[in-house]
Structures are given as C-alpha cells and as structure tokens.
Structure 1
Amino acid sequence: MLGRLNHVAIAVPDIEVASAVYRDTLGAVVSDPLPQPDHGVTTVFIELPNTKIELLEPLGEDSPIAGFLAKNPTGGMHHVCYEVTDIMEARDKLVAAGARVLGTGEPKIGAHGKRVLFLHPKDFCGTLTELEEA
C-alpha cells in the first residue's frame, strides 16, 4: 500500500528563522513560504535528493500547529507523509483494519495540490501519519 516517503514535517514557531537554518547553515534548497488556509498553516519545503522536509508555521490562532507548539515551544517533528497510489482504496483498507482517519474521513487538497488524509497517531506507533495520493 505505501509508496515512497514524501516528506517529514517539522512544526516551527518562526518559519523564516527555520528556513534560514536549512538554507544558510545546511545549504539546502528552500521554497518560498506558502499559506495553506484550509490546513491552518504556512508551509516551506526543503528539497533533498530522496525526499523533502516540510516546515509548518501556524496560520491563525486556530491552527492545529499552534497547539503542538504550545506543548513544544521550540518546535519538533510533527508528522510523516507517505505516498499511496489510490487514497480512497488506502483509506478503506485502513478503516477496515481498525485505523482511525482524522477529520471527516474525506481527503482534502494538501500543499502539493494532491488529495491527503491524516491518520490517528495512536494507531501508528505514536506518529501522526499523512497519506498523499501520488
């Protein structure tokens, strides 16, 4: 079911400062910040040869990232994202196996313009898991 690792997401309190660390200290290629109002975040992607790192900054007070940062003020790993060929087929198999899909259970459009779902961390070794349709 799982395809390649699409990205690892890191919640950060200041996306400009975090971007500078990756760009200036580590020499990485860093995208421009992109607001994602449907998800309550601003994102930046760090391009690596084999995957991406996604930086997440809260967009508004109701952002799910705001709650994460309240518990982890300096930031930290937020989720991993795996690619799947057919997100609806993957969702149905996971639900049949007892996994919990967050939200309404219907895919949303993610930062790459593709359909995504999030899976409950308690069902996946304590890790929030995102599926993105490849």
Structure 2
Amino acid sequence: MSHFRSVLTSFGKMTSAMGQRQMSTHPLAGLLGRLNHVAIATPDLKKTSDFYRNLGAKVSEPVPQPEHGVYTVFVELPNSKIELLHPFGEKSPIQAFLNKNSAGGMHHICIEVRDIHEAVTAVKSKGIRTLGEKPKIGAHGKDVIFLHPKDCGGVLIELEQE
C-alpha cells in the first residue's frame, strides 16, 4: 500500500507542477480576480428594484451615469452584486439592448482584474477585441473596459480594476 501511496503522491506533485507551469505562462495568469457583478438591463427600474428589495436584499437608490447613458442601481449580495441598468438619454446603449430584448435581461458580467492595463494587453495578445481603445471610469469610479461578446462566447464581459 505504501508504494501505491508514493506513486499517487508523485503523480499529484507532477500534475500540480504542470498546472502551475501552464498557469504561470498564460498572459492572464494572476490578473483575474473575483466576479464583481452581474448586470441586468431593465425597462422598469422601480419594479425591478422593488423585486430585489422584497427578497430582502439591500438595494441602492438609482444613480444617473450620463457619461455612460445609464441609471445604475446596485443590489448587494453576500458574495457579489447585481447591477440594474436602465436607459439614460436618447443614445443609451441600454435602450438599444432593450429595443432587442423588451423584457430586459442579463447585459454583462464584470470580473475584477489586478492590473487593467496588463489585462488589456493580455487579452489583445490572445486576439480578444475590446470595446474602446483604453479603459474608462466606470460606475464604481474605477477603470473598466468591455470585451467584445463575439470573442467571449457571446457574453459581454467588463473588466474592472480591483
């Protein structure tokens, strides 16, 4: 039995070392952090806010973000947040989304990154397009950039500086 145990231990060390080696050479190794939020576009901000409030969640007041063409509301969860998005102004990207999805729905996910500039360089090196050339200030007052959904399995991904 001890020989079997030593083989398993050796195999475990070898695969662990291989995994670390593969991870450390990947351009995004160590850059990706936690899921910050899931964003949901809604045609009725009050109704959607009330829904989460009625579930017992802490729900912020709407905040206009004219530079992004949205109102945002944050729903606090124990391990993350939900960001509710509602159009602000005539040229709102959220209005364009709602024109295609009248009931609303998931708009994007946001992942924190250790260094947004390194992350942008890394994703571009992998052929992933960004929406915009450089990060902008997002709803949390931190640098953000969006990744093109056609390069991300159909999902719009926001990267946010930790």
What TM-score, normalized to structure 2?
0.80
Aligned length: 132
Q: Deviations over 1:47-96 (max 9, x none)?
A: 00000000000001100000110011110000000000100000001111
Shift of 1:7: 0.1
Please state which structure has a larger fraction of its residues in helix.
2
Shift of 1:14: 1.4
Moved over 4 A (4+): none
Percent identity, aligned pairs only?
64
The separation in 1 between residues aligned to 2:126 and 2:100, in whole angstroms, is: 31
The 5 A counterparts of 1:18-29 are 18-24=48-54, 26-29=55-58
Query: Which of 100, 103, 112 is the matching residue for 2:140?
Result: 112
Query: Which of 43, 63, 87 is the matching residue for 2:72?
Result: 43
Shift of 1:2: 1.2
The 5 A counterparts of 1:115-130 are 115-130=143-158
Q: Deviations over 1:76-127 (max 9, x none)?
A: 0000000001000000011111010002x11111111100000000111100
The separation in 2 between residues aligned to 1:120 and 1:38, in whole angstroms, is: 20
Unmatched segments (≥5 aa) in structure 2: 1-30
Shift of 1:16: 1.0
The answer for the alignment partner of 2:127 in structure 1 is 98
Higher relative contact order (CA 8 A, sep 6+): 1
Unmatched segments (≥5 aa) in structure 1: none
Which amino acid in structure 1 is aligned with residue 56 of structure 2?
A: G
The separation in 2 between residues aligned to 1:61 and 1:70, in whole angstroms, is: 12
Which amino acid in structure 1 is aligned with residue 34 of structure 2?
A: R
The answer for the alignment partner of 2:97 in structure 1 is 68
Which amino acid in structure 2 is aligned with residue 10 of structure 1?
A: I
- The structure with the larger Rg is 2
Q: Deviations over 1:20-54 (max 9, x none)?
A: 01102x11100010011111100000000000000
